[in-house]
Structure 1
Amino acid sequence: MNKPDIKVFKIKHPSFLFLGIENEIVGSIENADFVTIWNKFFEVGGFDKIRPYQKNFNPPMVIYHQNNSDNLIYFIGSIIESVEKVPKGYSACVFPECEFLVITTDWLQTEEEALGEHGLGQCGEYEKIVDIPKGYIRYDKGDSQYVLIEKENFNTKEGHRYEFWVPIKKIDDKN
């Protein structure tokens, strides 16, 4: 397989309600036990517990944040419409409107390609060094509600691809 080109584009995502399972990462993200984290997620019901709260299908996402914690939170879930009673073991959070740089690739033929080194792999490395547009800053510290978002786009009519969303903020002209 030829290595697909990386695509970068800017979006503004409105505020949304997110339902999933929060996992606190103590120490370095590189040392996190993702096998255990994902096994726990699926053992308690995974996305099956989220889908009843979706009016329209929203793909799986992971939101990295530090809201109310000194440690990084790895929040697996999806955008939902509303929830009256949060399923046991899950959390629901409202995330604010934000602008993002989306780092992704061309659409790929298989889910395996999207999750492999030419999809998730190269995009995950590129998000660390992506050039932030003039007039913006990377907005993943301080009062930002976001550190990073990962989004799966699998089994769509276009194909498969993995996305990393880097939060950005317009620089105040007065600064």
Structure 2
Amino acid sequence: MRPTTILILLLCFFSAAQAAPLTWTLDGVTFDNGTQLQGQFDYDASTNTYSNVLIQSGNPIWYSDSKLPPFTLDNTFGPGTATGFEAWTRYDGCCDSYLYIYLDSAMTDSGGVISILTTSYEARFYPGGDDYRYVTGGTISAVPIPAAAWLFGSALAGLGWLRRRQTT
């Protein structure tokens, strides 16, 4: 087969790459009482959807008159936006607890490192009042992997094969 024909066939099979959801990892997210959050989640900026959520608190979050036991978030929380989310963490018969995470800038499919704002907090709502633990610092980070990386490698392998074939 002639190289020109092969090139035309290869160009016919190229298509626009679809961005896949990125996995964002929590880094150094700490509350004002020292409790840290660990975990990660997938976020697809093109559809504004979260998936594969796994966020955990390593220790209880202490409030002025009670504590929130360690918790694990999974995919059961409500919709968020590119600049943050809120999640229900626990109901113990008397009180609801929610985690609110707000970001310095919007998540994109390009990845990067984004600071978590210190206005982020874990809140416990009592019948007679509220109690809060604020985030003192932390970031989320993601490194994108190009969806067409295998295609580039295949093209290089094909060019190598063509060159070898021409020399024989």
Q: TM-score range by the shorter chain?
A: under 0.3
TM-score after normalising by structure 1: 0.23
TM-score after normalising by structure 2: 0.24
Q: Indicate the structure whose relative CO is greater, using CA pairs within 8 Å and at least 6 residues apart.
A: 1
Larger-gyration structure (1/2): 2
